[in-house]
Chains A and B, each alone.
Chain A
Protein backbone atom coordinates (compact mmCIF):
# COMPACT_ATOMS: atom_id res chain seq x y z
CA UNK A 1 0.00 0.00 0.00
CA UNK A 2 3.00 2.29 0.35
CA UNK A 3 3.64 4.44 -2.68
CA UNK A 4 4.62 7.99 -3.53
CA UNK A 5 1.05 9.24 -3.10
CA UNK A 6 1.47 8.99 0.66
CA UNK A 7 4.98 10.43 0.97
CA UNK A 8 6.40 13.91 0.90
CA UNK A 9 5.78 17.35 2.38
CA UNK A 10 2.30 18.80 2.07
CA UNK A 11 1.48 21.82 -0.06
CA UNK A 12 0.78 24.88 2.06
CA UNK A 13 -2.85 25.68 2.64
CA UNK A 14 -4.21 28.69 0.76
CA UNK A 15 -5.81 30.50 3.66
CA UNK A 16 -7.44 33.05 1.32
CA UNK A 17 -9.27 30.23 -0.42
CA UNK A 18 -10.60 28.68 2.77
CA UNK A 19 -13.05 30.60 4.95
CA UNK A 20 -11.50 32.92 7.53
CA UNK A 21 -11.96 31.84 11.15
CA UNK A 22 -13.74 35.04 12.18
CA UNK A 23 -16.82 35.54 10.00
CA UNK A 24 -19.43 37.74 11.71
CA UNK A 25 -22.15 36.74 9.22
CA UNK A 26 -21.98 33.32 10.87
CA UNK A 27 -22.43 34.41 14.46
CA UNK A 28 -21.10 31.34 16.27
CA UNK A 29 -17.69 31.86 14.67
CA UNK A 30 -17.28 35.14 16.55
CA UNK A 31 -16.50 33.49 19.89
CA UNK A 32 -14.86 30.38 18.45
CA UNK A 33 -12.31 31.94 16.10
CA UNK A 34 -8.72 32.22 17.31
CA UNK A 35 -7.63 35.88 17.30
CA UNK A 36 -3.88 35.28 17.32
CA UNK A 37 -2.02 34.45 14.13
CA UNK A 38 -1.49 30.78 13.40
CA UNK A 39 2.07 29.52 13.87
CA UNK A 40 3.07 28.60 10.32
CA UNK A 41 5.68 26.03 9.34
CA UNK A 42 6.23 23.28 6.82
CA UNK A 43 4.75 19.86 7.43
CA UNK A 44 6.54 17.27 9.56
CA UNK A 45 6.08 13.52 9.86
CA UNK A 46 3.24 14.24 12.29
CA UNK A 47 1.20 15.76 9.44
CA UNK A 48 2.61 13.67 6.56
CA UNK A 49 1.58 10.37 8.11
CA UNK A 50 -1.98 9.51 9.00
CA UNK A 51 -4.42 6.78 9.96
CA UNK A 52 -5.26 4.03 7.49
CA UNK A 53 -8.66 2.37 7.14
CA UNK A 54 -9.28 -0.96 5.51
CA UNK A 55 -12.06 -1.87 3.08
CA UNK A 56 -12.99 -4.73 5.40
CA UNK A 57 -14.36 -2.46 8.12
CA UNK A 58 -17.05 -1.15 5.77
CA UNK A 59 -20.43 -2.88 5.91
CA UNK A 60 -22.36 -3.69 2.75
CA UNK A 61 -24.95 -0.94 3.30
CA UNK A 62 -22.66 1.67 4.86
CA UNK A 63 -22.76 3.84 1.72
CA UNK A 64 -26.49 3.35 1.18
CA UNK A 65 -28.31 5.90 3.35
CA UNK A 66 -31.65 4.90 1.86
CA UNK A 67 -31.44 1.43 3.43
CA UNK A 68 -28.76 1.51 6.14
CA UNK A 69 -30.95 2.55 9.07
CA UNK A 70 -33.81 0.03 9.17
CA UNK A 71 -33.53 -1.85 5.91
CA UNK A 72 -36.76 -0.20 4.75
CA UNK A 73 -36.35 2.61 2.21
CA UNK A 74 -36.13 6.23 3.34
CA UNK A 75 -38.54 8.72 1.77
CA UNK A 76 -37.23 11.31 -0.66
CA UNK A 77 -35.75 12.03 -4.03
CA UNK A 78 -33.29 9.22 -4.68
CA UNK A 79 -29.81 10.38 -5.69
CA UNK A 80 -26.35 8.99 -6.28
CA UNK A 81 -23.57 11.20 -4.92
CA UNK A 82 -20.29 10.24 -6.51
CA UNK A 83 -16.87 11.57 -7.41
CA UNK A 84 -13.21 11.14 -6.64
CA UNK A 85 -10.93 12.05 -3.79
CA UNK A 86 -7.98 13.79 -5.46
CA UNK A 87 -4.95 15.69 -4.30
CA UNK A 88 -3.92 19.08 -5.67
CA UNK A 89 -1.62 17.29 -8.13
CA UNK A 90 -4.77 15.81 -9.65
CA UNK A 91 -4.02 12.25 -8.56
CA UNK A 92 -6.77 10.04 -7.16
CA UNK A 93 -6.16 9.08 -3.52
CA UNK A 94 -7.02 5.43 -2.94
CA UNK A 95 -8.10 3.74 0.30
CA UNK A 96 -9.23 6.82 2.20
CA UNK A 97 -12.27 7.08 4.43
CA UNK A 98 -15.15 9.31 3.32
CA UNK A 99 -17.97 9.87 5.81
CA UNK A 100 -21.15 11.88 5.18
CA UNK A 101 -24.12 13.07 7.22
CA UNK A 102 -27.22 15.01 6.28
CA UNK A 103 -30.81 16.01 7.05
CA UNK A 104 -33.65 13.89 5.72
CA UNK A 105 -35.71 14.83 2.66
CA UNK A 106 -37.75 17.25 4.77
CA UNK A 107 -34.69 19.04 6.16
CA UNK A 108 -34.74 17.42 9.62
CA UNK A 109 -31.75 15.86 11.38
CA UNK A 110 -31.98 12.87 13.68
CA UNK A 111 -30.65 14.90 16.61
CA UNK A 112 -32.25 15.96 19.86
CA UNK A 113 -31.21 19.57 19.30
CA UNK A 114 -33.04 19.76 15.97
CA UNK A 115 -36.66 20.76 16.62
CA UNK A 116 -37.62 21.90 13.13
CA UNK A 117 -41.27 21.24 12.22
CA UNK A 118 -40.41 18.79 9.45
CA UNK A 119 -40.86 15.23 10.75
CA UNK A 120 -38.25 12.55 11.23
CA UNK A 121 -38.33 9.74 8.71
CA UNK A 122 -38.42 6.50 10.70
CA UNK A 123 -36.28 4.85 8.02
CA UNK A 124 -33.61 7.51 7.67
CA UNK A 125 -30.62 7.63 10.02
CA UNK A 126 -28.57 10.25 8.23
CA UNK A 127 -25.00 8.98 7.97
CA UNK A 128 -22.93 6.88 5.61
CA UNK A 129 -19.32 6.00 4.90
CA UNK A 130 -17.13 4.38 2.31
CA UNK A 131 -13.48 3.87 1.34
CA UNK A 132 -12.18 5.30 -1.92
CA UNK A 133 -11.30 2.89 -4.70
CA UNK A 134 -7.91 2.49 -6.46
CA UNK A 135 -8.53 5.66 -8.51
CA UNK A 136 -9.91 7.64 -5.56
CA UNK A 137 -13.53 7.12 -6.60
CA UNK A 138 -16.39 6.92 -4.12
CA UNK A 139 -20.16 6.61 -4.31
CA UNK A 140 -23.18 6.98 -2.03
CA UNK A 141 -26.88 6.30 -2.56
CA UNK A 142 -29.06 8.66 -0.53
CA UNK A 143 -32.04 10.99 -0.64
CA UNK A 144 -31.67 14.64 -1.49
CA UNK A 145 -31.68 16.50 1.85
CA UNK A 146 -34.21 19.28 2.39
CA UNK A 147 -33.32 22.90 3.09
CA UNK A 148 -33.85 23.92 6.71
CA UNK A 149 -34.04 27.05 8.86
CA UNK A 150 -31.42 27.74 11.52
CA UNK A 151 -30.95 30.31 14.23
CA UNK A 152 -28.47 32.98 13.14
CA UNK A 153 -30.13 36.03 11.65
CA UNK A 154 -33.93 36.03 11.77
CA UNK A 155 -34.66 34.15 8.58
CA UNK A 156 -31.60 32.10 7.60
CA UNK A 157 -32.06 28.84 5.71
CA UNK A 158 -29.39 26.36 4.84
CA UNK A 159 -29.34 25.33 1.19
CA UNK A 160 -29.65 21.62 0.54
CA UNK A 161 -26.30 20.14 1.54
CA UNK A 162 -24.45 17.01 2.55
CA UNK A 163 -21.69 17.23 5.16
CA UNK A 164 -18.48 15.41 4.16
CA UNK A 165 -15.54 14.33 6.28
CA UNK A 166 -12.51 13.02 4.44
CA UNK A 167 -9.09 11.67 5.31
CA UNK A 168 -6.07 11.77 3.07
CA UNK A 169 -2.92 9.76 3.59
CA UNK A 170 -1.59 12.39 6.02
CA UNK A 171 -3.24 13.81 9.13
CA UNK A 172 -2.49 17.31 7.84
CA UNK A 173 -4.87 16.70 4.91
CA UNK A 174 -7.83 16.13 7.23
CA UNK A 175 -10.84 18.05 5.96
CA UNK A 176 -14.54 18.59 6.61
CA UNK A 177 -16.66 20.39 4.05
CA UNK A 178 -20.16 20.46 2.57
CA UNK A 179 -21.57 19.63 -0.85
CA UNK A 180 -24.25 21.87 -2.34
CA UNK A 181 -26.55 21.17 -5.29
CA UNK A 182 -26.52 22.84 -8.69
CA UNK A 183 -29.22 25.46 -9.10
CA UNK A 184 -30.18 25.88 -5.43
CA UNK A 185 -31.12 29.59 -4.95
CA UNK A 186 -30.38 29.37 -1.21
CA UNK A 187 -26.64 28.91 -1.82
CA UNK A 188 -26.12 32.61 -2.56
CA UNK A 189 -28.04 33.61 0.58
CA UNK A 190 -26.35 31.32 3.12
CA UNK A 191 -24.08 32.92 5.76
CA UNK A 192 -22.15 29.64 6.18
CA UNK A 193 -21.51 29.40 2.44
CA UNK A 194 -20.46 33.05 2.50
CA UNK A 195 -17.79 32.42 5.10
CA UNK A 196 -15.88 31.52 1.93
CA UNK A 197 -14.71 34.78 0.42
CA UNK A 198 -14.12 33.86 -3.22
CA UNK A 199 -16.96 32.97 -5.56
CA UNK A 200 -14.71 30.49 -7.38
CA UNK A 201 -14.12 28.65 -4.13
CA UNK A 202 -17.86 28.53 -3.40
CA UNK A 203 -18.47 27.07 -6.85
CA UNK A 204 -15.96 24.31 -6.03
CA UNK A 205 -18.50 23.02 -3.48
CA UNK A 206 -21.49 22.96 -5.85
CA UNK A 207 -22.12 19.54 -7.37
CA UNK A 208 -23.51 19.49 -10.92
CA UNK A 209 -26.35 17.22 -11.94
CA UNK A 210 -24.76 14.25 -13.72
CA UNK A 211 -27.21 12.62 -16.10
CA UNK A 212 -24.59 10.14 -17.26
CA UNK A 213 -24.59 8.52 -13.85
CA UNK A 214 -28.34 8.86 -13.25
CA UNK A 215 -30.12 5.51 -13.46
CA UNK A 216 -33.27 5.65 -15.63
CA UNK A 217 -36.50 5.22 -13.66
CA UNK A 218 -34.47 4.93 -10.44
CA UNK A 219 -32.32 7.87 -9.31
CA UNK A 220 -30.60 11.10 -10.33
CA UNK A 221 -26.89 11.65 -9.77
CA UNK A 222 -24.64 14.50 -8.63
CA UNK A 223 -20.88 14.53 -9.11
CA UNK A 224 -18.65 15.90 -6.41
CA UNK A 225 -14.86 15.68 -6.46
CA UNK A 226 -13.06 16.30 -3.18
CA UNK A 227 -9.57 17.80 -3.39
CA UNK A 228 -7.06 17.43 -0.56
CA UNK A 229 -3.69 19.13 -0.05
CA UNK A 230 -1.07 17.89 -2.48
CA UNK A 231 2.41 16.61 -1.70
CA UNK A 232 5.65 17.98 -2.99
CA UNK A 233 7.86 15.49 -4.79
CA UNK A 234 11.44 16.33 -5.54
CA UNK A 235 14.80 14.63 -5.54
CA UNK A 236 16.13 17.91 -4.21
CA UNK A 237 14.13 17.71 -0.99
CA UNK A 238 16.31 18.94 1.87
CA UNK A 239 16.03 15.89 4.07
CA UNK A 240 18.45 13.62 5.77
CA UNK A 241 18.97 10.17 4.37
CA UNK A 242 16.25 7.75 5.39
CA UNK A 243 13.73 10.33 6.56
Chain B
Protein backbone atom coordinates (compact mmCIF):
# COMPACT_ATOMS: atom_id res chain seq x y z
CA UNK B 1 0.00 0.00 0.00
CA UNK B 2 1.15 3.54 -0.68
CA UNK B 3 1.82 5.85 2.22
CA UNK B 4 -0.39 8.86 2.97
CA UNK B 5 2.17 11.57 3.39
CA UNK B 6 0.17 14.25 5.15
CA UNK B 7 1.81 16.06 8.03
CA UNK B 8 0.12 16.15 11.42
CA UNK B 9 -0.97 19.46 12.89
CA UNK B 10 1.39 20.64 15.63
CA UNK B 11 -0.17 19.55 18.91
CA UNK B 12 -1.47 22.43 20.99
CA UNK B 13 -0.08 23.43 24.37
CA UNK B 14 -1.63 25.80 26.87
CA UNK B 15 -1.03 29.53 26.46
CA UNK B 16 -0.02 29.45 30.13
CA UNK B 17 -0.09 32.25 32.70
CA UNK B 18 2.28 34.55 30.81
CA UNK B 19 0.53 34.75 27.44
CA UNK B 20 0.29 38.54 27.74
CA UNK B 21 4.07 38.87 27.53
CA UNK B 22 3.85 37.52 24.03
CA UNK B 23 0.56 38.84 22.73
CA UNK B 24 -0.19 42.10 24.57
CA UNK B 25 3.11 43.23 26.11
CA UNK B 26 2.10 46.90 26.19
CA UNK B 27 -1.08 46.18 28.16
CA UNK B 28 0.95 44.04 30.57
CA UNK B 29 3.40 46.86 31.21
CA UNK B 30 6.28 45.91 28.92
CA UNK B 31 6.38 48.94 26.64
CA UNK B 32 8.94 49.72 24.01
CA UNK B 33 9.25 46.46 22.12
CA UNK B 34 6.23 47.03 19.86
CA UNK B 35 4.68 50.47 19.27
CA UNK B 36 1.19 49.09 20.00
CA UNK B 37 -0.41 45.76 20.81
CA UNK B 38 -2.02 44.07 17.82
CA UNK B 39 -5.79 43.76 17.40
CA UNK B 40 -6.77 46.83 19.42
CA UNK B 41 -9.94 47.14 17.32
CA UNK B 42 -11.63 45.17 14.53
CA UNK B 43 -12.80 48.40 12.88
CA UNK B 44 -11.43 51.78 11.89
CA UNK B 45 -13.08 55.19 11.82
CA UNK B 46 -15.79 55.16 9.18
CA UNK B 47 -16.71 51.47 9.32
CA UNK B 48 -20.22 50.94 7.97
CA UNK B 49 -22.87 49.34 10.14
CA UNK B 50 -24.38 49.44 13.59
CA UNK B 51 -21.86 50.29 16.30
CA UNK B 52 -22.09 47.80 19.15
CA UNK B 53 -20.25 47.03 22.39
CA UNK B 54 -20.15 43.56 23.89
CA UNK B 55 -19.12 43.11 27.52
CA UNK B 56 -18.52 39.83 29.29
CA UNK B 57 -16.39 37.60 31.45
CA UNK B 58 -14.89 34.13 31.25
CA UNK B 59 -15.84 31.92 34.18
CA UNK B 60 -14.46 28.53 35.24
CA UNK B 61 -16.23 25.46 36.64
CA UNK B 62 -15.81 26.70 40.22
CA UNK B 63 -17.57 29.97 39.40
CA UNK B 64 -14.34 31.99 39.43
CA UNK B 65 -13.91 34.75 36.87
CA UNK B 66 -10.68 34.38 34.94
CA UNK B 67 -8.24 37.30 35.07
CA UNK B 68 -5.83 35.67 32.66
CA UNK B 69 -8.07 34.81 29.70
CA UNK B 70 -7.25 36.06 26.22
CA UNK B 71 -9.85 36.06 23.47
CA UNK B 72 -9.56 36.74 19.77
CA UNK B 73 -12.54 37.64 17.64
CA UNK B 74 -13.08 37.39 13.90
CA UNK B 75 -16.06 38.79 12.05
CA UNK B 76 -17.44 39.90 8.72
CA UNK B 77 -18.33 43.47 7.77
CA UNK B 78 -21.90 44.78 7.86
CA UNK B 79 -22.60 43.18 4.47
CA UNK B 80 -21.35 39.77 5.59
CA UNK B 81 -18.04 39.86 3.70
CA UNK B 82 -14.84 38.86 5.48
CA UNK B 83 -11.75 41.04 5.12
CA UNK B 84 -8.76 39.51 3.36
CA UNK B 85 -9.27 36.16 1.73
CA UNK B 86 -13.07 36.00 1.33
CA UNK B 87 -13.56 34.47 -2.14
CA UNK B 88 -16.68 36.60 -2.71
CA UNK B 89 -14.84 39.91 -2.87
CA UNK B 90 -13.51 42.85 -0.91
CA UNK B 91 -14.87 43.86 2.47
CA UNK B 92 -15.42 47.36 3.87
CA UNK B 93 -11.86 48.77 3.96
CA UNK B 94 -12.54 50.10 7.46
CA UNK B 95 -13.26 46.66 8.86
CA UNK B 96 -10.19 44.57 9.71
CA UNK B 97 -12.42 41.99 11.36
CA UNK B 98 -9.96 40.79 13.98
CA UNK B 99 -9.48 41.82 17.60
CA UNK B 100 -7.40 40.60 20.50
CA UNK B 101 -9.30 41.10 23.74
CA UNK B 102 -8.04 40.52 27.27
CA UNK B 103 -9.90 40.10 30.52
CA UNK B 104 -9.23 43.03 32.83
CA UNK B 105 -6.40 42.09 35.20
CA UNK B 106 -8.49 43.18 38.22
CA UNK B 107 -12.15 42.61 37.37
CA UNK B 108 -11.86 39.94 34.68
CA UNK B 109 -14.31 41.82 32.45
CA UNK B 110 -13.61 42.12 28.75
CA UNK B 111 -15.06 44.51 26.17
CA UNK B 112 -15.34 44.36 22.40
CA UNK B 113 -16.41 47.49 20.54
CA UNK B 114 -17.19 46.83 16.89
CA UNK B 115 -19.92 46.89 14.26
CA UNK B 116 -22.56 44.22 13.99
CA UNK B 117 -21.56 41.79 11.23
CA UNK B 118 -23.87 40.82 8.39
CA UNK B 119 -25.08 37.33 7.58
CA UNK B 120 -22.59 34.95 5.99
CA UNK B 121 -23.48 31.89 3.90
CA UNK B 122 -23.02 28.36 5.20
CA UNK B 123 -21.27 26.04 2.67
CA UNK B 124 -24.65 24.86 1.28
CA UNK B 125 -25.77 28.43 0.61
CA UNK B 126 -28.17 28.85 3.53
CA UNK B 127 -27.40 31.93 5.59
CA UNK B 128 -25.85 31.83 9.04
CA UNK B 129 -27.24 34.37 11.50
CA UNK B 130 -24.93 37.32 12.25
CA UNK B 131 -22.16 36.14 14.53
CA UNK B 132 -18.64 36.83 15.73
CA UNK B 133 -16.26 33.87 15.96
CA UNK B 134 -14.24 33.66 19.17
CA UNK B 135 -11.10 31.77 20.13
CA UNK B 136 -10.44 31.57 23.86
CA UNK B 137 -7.10 30.68 25.48
CA UNK B 138 -5.84 30.79 29.06
CA UNK B 139 -3.72 28.96 31.58
CA UNK B 140 -5.33 25.54 32.04
CA UNK B 141 -6.85 25.52 28.55
CA UNK B 142 -4.89 22.92 26.56
CA UNK B 143 -6.34 23.73 23.13
CA UNK B 144 -7.92 27.07 22.15
CA UNK B 145 -11.70 26.97 22.50
CA UNK B 146 -13.88 27.93 19.54
CA UNK B 147 -17.22 29.56 20.16
CA UNK B 148 -19.46 32.23 18.61
CA UNK B 149 -21.37 35.30 19.71
CA UNK B 150 -24.88 35.56 18.24
CA UNK B 151 -27.31 38.39 19.01
CA UNK B 152 -30.69 38.11 20.70
CA UNK B 153 -32.26 40.74 18.43
CA UNK B 154 -31.48 38.80 15.23
CA UNK B 155 -33.29 35.87 13.64
CA UNK B 156 -31.24 32.94 14.93
CA UNK B 157 -33.85 30.25 14.30
CA UNK B 158 -32.78 29.44 10.76
CA UNK B 159 -29.01 29.49 11.36
CA UNK B 160 -27.67 26.15 10.10
CA UNK B 161 -24.88 26.15 12.69
CA UNK B 162 -27.18 26.77 15.66
CA UNK B 163 -29.48 24.07 14.30
CA UNK B 164 -26.67 21.56 14.82
CA UNK B 165 -26.90 21.97 18.59
CA UNK B 166 -29.03 19.02 19.66
CA UNK B 167 -29.66 20.11 23.24
CA UNK B 168 -31.76 23.17 22.34
CA UNK B 169 -31.59 25.06 25.66
CA UNK B 170 -27.81 25.26 25.21
CA UNK B 171 -28.24 27.50 22.14
CA UNK B 172 -28.98 30.23 24.64
CA UNK B 173 -25.34 30.18 25.80
CA UNK B 174 -24.32 31.58 22.41
CA UNK B 175 -26.76 34.49 22.36
CA UNK B 176 -25.55 37.89 23.55
CA UNK B 177 -28.23 39.64 25.61
CA UNK B 178 -29.10 43.22 24.87
CA UNK B 179 -28.51 45.41 27.94
CA UNK B 180 -29.03 48.82 26.32
CA UNK B 181 -29.13 50.28 22.82
CA UNK B 182 -26.07 48.94 21.04
CA UNK B 183 -24.81 47.14 24.14
CA UNK B 184 -24.75 43.41 24.75
CA UNK B 185 -23.68 41.03 27.50
CA UNK B 186 -21.91 37.75 26.68
CA UNK B 187 -20.47 35.66 29.52
CA UNK B 188 -18.43 32.60 28.65
CA UNK B 189 -18.69 29.66 31.05
CA UNK B 190 -15.94 27.09 30.54
CA UNK B 191 -17.49 24.31 32.59
CA UNK B 192 -20.58 23.38 34.56
CA UNK B 193 -24.26 24.01 34.54
CA UNK B 194 -24.41 26.90 32.07
CA UNK B 195 -21.42 25.75 30.11
CA UNK B 196 -21.02 27.66 26.85
CA UNK B 197 -21.30 25.67 23.64
CA UNK B 198 -17.84 25.13 22.14
CA UNK B 199 -17.32 23.96 18.60
CA UNK B 200 -15.03 21.55 16.82
CA UNK B 201 -15.28 23.35 13.51
Contact = CB atoms under 8 A, between A and B. Distances in A.
A66 interface: no
A127 B200 contact: no
Interface string A1-20: 11000110101111101111
A135 B11 CA distance: 22
Contact of B11 (A7, A17, A44): A17
Contacts, number: 278
B21 A109 contact: yes
Contacts of B201: 39-44, 47, 172
A62 B164 CA distance: 43
Contacts of A19: 11-13, 142-143
Nearest to B132: A46
B185 interface: no
Interface residues of A, number: 95
A26 B143 CA distance: 13
Nearest to A45: B120
A34 interface: yes
Contacts of B7: 86-90, 227, 230
B21 A101 contact: yes
A28 interface: yes
Given A35-B192, A174-B144, A101 B11 contact: no
A183 interface: no
A19 B142 CA distance: 6
A17 B9 contact: yes
B33 A127 contact: yes
Q: Binding site of A, secondary structure by majority: helix, strand, loop or mixed?
A: loop
A205 B11 contact: yes
B121 to A, nearest CB: 6
Nearest to B5: A90
A82 interface: no
Contacts of B87: 7, 242-243
B145 to A, nearest CB: 7
B14 interface: yes
A18 B199 CA distance: 15
B131 A99 contact: no
A196 interface: yes
A201 B97 CA distance: 33
A125 B32 CA distance: 9
A230 B122 CA distance: 20
Interface of B: 5-23, 25, 28-30, 32-35, 38-39, 60-62, 64, 66, 72, 74, 76, 82-88, 96-98, 120-125, 128, 131, 133, 135, 137-146, 148, 161, 164-165, 170, 190-192, 195-201
17 contacts: A15-B200, A17-B9, A26-B14, A29-B141, A36-B197, A36-B198, A50-B98, A51-B84, A88-B8, A89-B6, A125-B33, A174-B135, A176-B13, A177-B10, A195-B142, A201-B8, A243-B123
